[in-house]
Structure 1
């Protein structure tokens, strides 16, 4: 293979990869290298155990060069990580620290401003949205259109400065609307959140219920908790909620003074983020989806104690990223797929 041919192959690969991710993981790049050799066996490396490890290193190096080109071209997704430590800036952060990149399969992570718009014109639209949301009879189609136009401005604020959630929600009150949370999620991931989630959940629910009932029939704290949940599910009882000190939570409001911890007919379910109630909804499933959507909209990390729950939703139910699962989640996924 000539040097020019290899350069052309790597350039095309880098351009295509960048269309999906500006910062692909090591596993992502390995998958590309393996697929390249599988599709074009003539490119397999002689003497290599895998036949593509050299390609993997070349692609990784090329991606760094390609990001530099995009940075020079003014692409915000990589400009945001510019200005790291160098000979001319010896006191800046190390080049590999605090890199701002997609957290959970965010396709549109940090887009450039729309053509013909600037921060001043988009700020004017933001103020118009703010006033429109105050009205008793809101123009929902107008709000959606303006939220779409101001998406890039919003992402710049969220990703670059990471302000508190309350401050963001005050700036963008439309994100307290269920429909706009779903619209924002689609802008970020190109996926319809409620349609995809409920279709997958309905498909897996019978097996999930069977798995949980099996666990509830055993002994131990987990089994006792699950047994209590299913007892309440079967009897449809209500009780007062307990809200733990977590980054995100669902606050259940009931109409009685029961003692159980599970509520199937609450008055409202409130989404709590950073100790503030963001929005209240009548159904638990919708409240969970809005909470999940807001994690994406506000570029938040999954809370440590709920990582498995959110990763199961992201990778198994929504299929947003075919990344590596923890052993527990992989076992659960395998069990679900075997019974489809």
Structure 2
């Protein structure tokens, strides 16, 4: 993969081939280790080390901001309130649950619509209907706390699952890396969330930050 990187990158960026074609030619891009390695080749950043270090550093402040918003009125406040009601009911809150709560709340706070990005599948039912999902996550669970404690989270691209993970955060960050590796556009309805991930959590700043993302970044940096 290292040897063929320049050729592969040129073809992906210049020719914009379908995802199926790319993954058929380079099936290693369905493996977590190779997705992380590809992201490092593109950005010179260790994907998981950087993402989790920044997410965990900002998580306490993000939770305070989200809970403050949840106490208000409006659609975003209602979504945030439901997320943290479920979070507070968890008997055991470990790092995976904390990360999932923050990542699940982020779109609501940034006024993104994740209804098309996140798909739920009750494993007791038939096969999930994901044909209309160009980019997203498929959460398999039987409980109401599916985002916090899923049984499985699959990365979806062009209506097909690519790779599975046991936690929400792992699936999210690898999907972010795949978007980079395959030169895809961010989901339109989740643009603020991915912009925040790219420019605040990953430090991949391009000098053009969306207004809501810039506002949240300033809130994180403000002295209380």
Q: TM-score range by the shorter chain?
A: 0.7 to 0.9
Candidates 252, 255, 277, aligned match of 2:161: 277
Candidates 210, 228, 234, aligned match of 2:64: 210
Task: Write the distance in 2 (CA, Å) between the matches of 1:197 and 1:326.
Answer: 20
Q: Please give the residue correspondences for 1:1-40 in structure 2 after superposition, counting only pairs within 5 Å.
A: none
Task: Write the distance in 1 (CA, Å) between the matches of 2:12 and 2:85.
Answer: 43
Candidates 129, 140, 143, aligned match of 1:253: 140
State the Cα deviation string for residues 5-42 of structure 1 (Å, max 9, x = none): xxxxxxxxxxxxxxxxxxxxxxxxxxxxxxxxxxxxxx
Q: CA RMSD in A?
A: 2.0
Unmatched tracts of structure 2, length 5 or more = 92-118, 122-128
Matched, 1:263 2:117: no
* Greater C-alpha radius of gyration: 1
Q: Please give the residue correspondences for 1:122-271 in structure 2 after superposition, counting only pairs within 5 Å.
A: 147-236=1-90, 241=120, 245-254=132-141, 256=142, 258=143, 260=144, 262-271=146-155
Task: Write the distance in 1 (CA, Å) between the matches of 2:220 and 2:30.
Answer: 34
Unmatched tracts of structure 1, length 5 or more = 1-146
Q: For the Cα contact (< 8 Å) 1:207–1:339, is it kept in 2?
A: no
**Deviation, structure 1 residue 324:** 2.4
State the Cα deviation string for residues 174-222 of structure 1 (Å, max 9, x = none): 1111111110001001111111111111111001001110111111111
**Deviation, structure 1 residue 322:** 4.4
Matched, 1:329 2:213: yes
**Deviation, structure 1 residue 263:** 2.5
Q: Report the TM-score when normalising by structure 2.
A: 0.79
Q: Please give the residue correspondences for 1:21-100 in structure 2 after superposition, counting only pairs within 5 Å.
A: none
Task: Write the distance in 1 (CA, Å) between the matches of 2:146 and 2:62.
Answer: 18
Residue aligning to 1:289: 173
State the Cα deviation string for residues 84-139 of structure 1 (Å, max 9, x = none): xxxxxxxxxxxxxxxxxxxxxxxxxxxxxxxxxxxxxxxxxxxxxxxxxxxxxxxx
**Deviation, structure 1 residue 236:** 3.3
Normalized per residue, the structure richer in strand is 2
Q: Report the TM-score when normalising by structure 1.
A: 0.53
Task: Write the distance in 1 (CA, Å) between the matches of 2:190 and 2:145.
Answer: 18
Task: Write the distance in 2 (CA, Å) between the matches of 1:263 and 1:291.
Answer: 16
